A and B are shown apart, each in its own frame.
Chain A
Amino acid sequence: MNTIFYIAAAVALLSTLLAITRRNAIHALIYLIMSLLSISVIFYILGAPFIAALEVIIYAGAIVVLFIFVIMMLNIGLEEELEHRWLKPRMWIVPSILATILLVEFIYAMKTLHYEKIESQVVLPRQVGLSLFSTYLLGVEIAGMLLLAAIIGTYHLGKQKKKVLHRFLPKR
């Protein structure tokens, strides 16, 4: 298991380094996804399977997709050409190798790591849920209000401002 940890750590460091040094935003996002996936493998072998799933679903799923949406929105009109230029086949080689390494590691970890045998040494999702909704109930409510504030703020910032000079003047 320690070897898996070291390999996943190396993949995380390498892909993060590549992510912050890329010139192209889409390439950097692909390496960012690789970094998140390798940290997810680390979570899994640390005994936090629920957190590993959340990392993949929310970070690599939702947040990175938001980034991609914004990058596409900032280049309206030339998506086809940009997609061809951004996603050259050559560009996929390094991320594919890293992803294959992670997949092999993950399958090996799933084969060898049996949570029911080491139940006293890991924290399973059931305990996390119980703690979340008893000890940290106030925190959950505050997080809900934070998300509501984020929704309202994003809606307010994202809508196009209508320019009205005066209510009797014609709209431009």
Chain B
Amino acid sequence: MVTVSLDIQILLASLLFLMGLVGLLVRRNIIFMLMSIEIMLNSAGLVFVIAGAHWIQTDGQVMFIFILAIAASEVSVGLALILQMYHHYKTLDADAMNKLKDKTTES
């Protein structure tokens, strides 16, 4: 059995979450942004499973299954939206969609 302290396991999950967050903020390609969201959801699920294994309860794994369902539905809708976006704008740059931007504040 793993006897690594809980702090280090949580640290691993937080680092993964942080990488996903940085990827989401830095990348402008919308496919990469969706992938970063997947990384973040996965690390959240990792925290649940770690906690469930630490306290020997089933709840962590049950929550991971729910996170899996959420991730699957999120990614399917997101990819359909990406297809529509590519259909309209012919680009994958997330900054291309600025029709709602206030024109008066635009520099």
Contacts and interface: CB of A to CB of B under 8 A. Distances in A.
* Chain A complexes with chain B: yes
Interface of A: 1-2, 5-6, 9, 12-13, 16-17, 19-20, 25, 28-29, 32, 35-36, 39, 42-43, 45-48, 50-51, 54-55, 58-59, 62-63, 66-67, 69-71, 73-74, 113, 118, 120-123, 127-128, 130-132, 135-136, 139, 143, 146-147, 149-151, 153-154, 157-158
Contacts of A2: 2-4
A48 B52 CA distance: 9
Contacts of A71: 31
Given A35-B16, A73-B83, 17 more contacts: A13-B16, A20-B19, A20-B23, A25-B31, A43-B46, A43-B49, A46-B2, A48-B53, A48-B64, A59-B68, A66-B76, A74-B83, A74-B92, A118-B1, A122-B1, A136-B66, A143-B66
Contact of A20 (B3, B39, B52): B39
Contacts of A55: 42
A163 to B, nearest CB: 13
Nearest to B16: A16
Given A2-B4, A36-B42, A123 B53 contact: yes
Per DSSP, chain B at the interface is: helix
A36 B2 CA distance: 19
B105 interface: no
Contact of B53 (A36, A47, A135): A47
A47 B53 CA distance: 7
B70 interface: yes
A123 B51 CA distance: 12
A70 B82 CA distance: 8
Nearest to B64: A51
Interface in B1-50: 1-4, 9, 12, 15-16, 19-20, 22-23, 26-27, 29, 31-32, 34-36, 38-39, 42, 46, 49-50
B73 to A, nearest CB: 3
A121 B75 contact: no
B50 A46 contact: yes
10 closest Cβ pairs, A-B complex: A150-B73, A20-B23, A157-B80, A131-B58, A143-B69, A46-B53, A154-B80, A158-B80, A70-B79, A128-B61
B96 to A, nearest CB: 14
